[in-house]
Amino acid sequence: MNIYLIIILFALIGEYALQGASDYLNLKALGRKPPDEFSGFYDEEKYRRSQEYIVTQTKFNYVSSTFNLILILAFILIGGFEYADRFARRFKFGNVLTGLVFLGVLYLAYDIITIPFSLYSQFVIEERFGFNKMTIKTFVLDKLKTYFLVIILGSVIMGGILFFFERAGAYAWLYAWGLAAFFIVIAQPLYNMLIAPMFNNFTPLEDGKLRDDIERYARKVKFPIKEISVMDGSKRSSHSNAYFSGLFKKRIALFDTLIERHSPGELVAVIAHEVGHYKKRHIIKGMLLSIIHAGIMFYLLSFFINNDGLFRAFRMQQISVYAGLVFFGLLYSPIKFLLSIFTNHLSRKYEFEADRFAAETTRSIKGMVMALKKIYVSNMSNLTPHPLNVFLNYDHPPVLERIKALRLL
């Protein structure tokens, strides 16, 4: 059997088995009673329901991941990429446009096939546990908007990468890296100005105690605020969150569901945590790490993009840059999985640092602890995840570890 195919199949099946074992251990780690730290936040029925939500989500993820594995294995083994390539070549476009058709067909086919899973997750599971606020109309509109963005941004980014690897010879990886680095840098402003307003409405936070407290805190820590907005997250879900965006002056966005459940002091603690990421330069560090990763990936890609053995593994009749991108992505998946473990570890470290910053600058450990407890309780989050699941998948530390670290300050 082709060595590249062996590596790819081993990686796909191996990651699936490891994640399955992790999910099994995660379910075994669930407790019948809430941890003592959360005493008073749950009654027996409320905690039972939160555990049921975790079990239901885990079982659903197992079914969907099993389906995804069977789908990709079947597609590879029946030579599905060759059929997609023949379809794309029928239009007799140039190489770049043919590549965009090929990639678009793969994306659209996968998305349409997996829509039932998205619908079940949103309108059955999330509905059952009281989180879903989305209508079918909103779901359809979101899909259409997503397709529009994929066509526009995908054509620019992937079209540019294909063009460079078609025309730039040995330096193609360097040009592609430059393009990727550019989009990594502008991703936040692009999301802020274009993407987020397509999906949600943002209204200025009204005058009052909360706004005054946030602005007072921002002045204290010299955090440059351009705008404080309330996002209508409740039109899709009752889950809550907050974020800020922007390279220089920042836009703070609070989910309306977050404001409903927290006191001004707790909300300032949440914002202080986000400010901590900015002050500790976590955003810049993450951006630089992404740029370095992209450079390494494109450099390695340059050695495999026209590799005849890689194309034989997928029963392809003709070598092409666009198919080479997809095949290298599958071959690269073990490295990507290992890198995700490292970046998750780094992210968990950053979360501890941001928590500490928030507690120290607000001079209120209690405010940060209360905010964390309410967020985890309202989202029915897992309070006792298994260490293997944390190691593989968590980009935030378990809440009990975060609270313990805060209490040691």
Tens-digit pLDDT profile for the chain (409 aa)? 689 999 999 999 999 999 999 999 999 999 888 999 998 898 888 999 999 999 999 999 999 999 999 999 999 999 999 999 999 999 999 999 999 999 999 999 999 999 999 999 999 999 999 999 899 999 999 999 999 999 999 999 999 999 999 999 899 999 999 999 999 999 888 887 888 889 988 888 888 899 999 999 999 999 888 788 888 888 888 776 766 655 555 678 888 888 888 888 999 999 999 999 999 999 899 999 999 999 999 999 999 998 999 999 999 999 999 999 999 999 999 999 999 999 999 999 999 999 999 999 999 899 999 999 999 999 999 999 999 999 999 999 999 999 999 999 8
pLDDT of residue 252: 80
126 is a domain residue: yes
**Which residues constitute the domain of residue 304?**
3-201+279-407
DSSP 234: G
What CA–CA distance (Å, rounded) separates 28 from 367?
A: 32
235 is a domain residue: no
Spatial strand order in the sheet of 250-255? 202-204, 225-231, 250-255, 242-245
Instruction: Tell me how many domains the chain contains.
Output: 1
Helix axes 44-77, 95-120, angle to 10 degrees: 150
253 is a domain residue: no
254 is a domain residue: no
360 is a domain residue: yes
pLDDT of residue 43: 84
244 is a domain residue: no
Catalytically annotated residues: 274, 355
260 is a domain residue: no
pLDDT of residue 244: 65
pLDDT of residue 128: 95
Q: Which tokens in the block code for residue 344?
A: 């998750």
With contact defined as beta carbons under 8 Å apart, do 284 and 49 qualify? no
pLDDT of residue 279: 92
233 is a domain residue: no
Regarding pTM above 0.75, the answer is yes
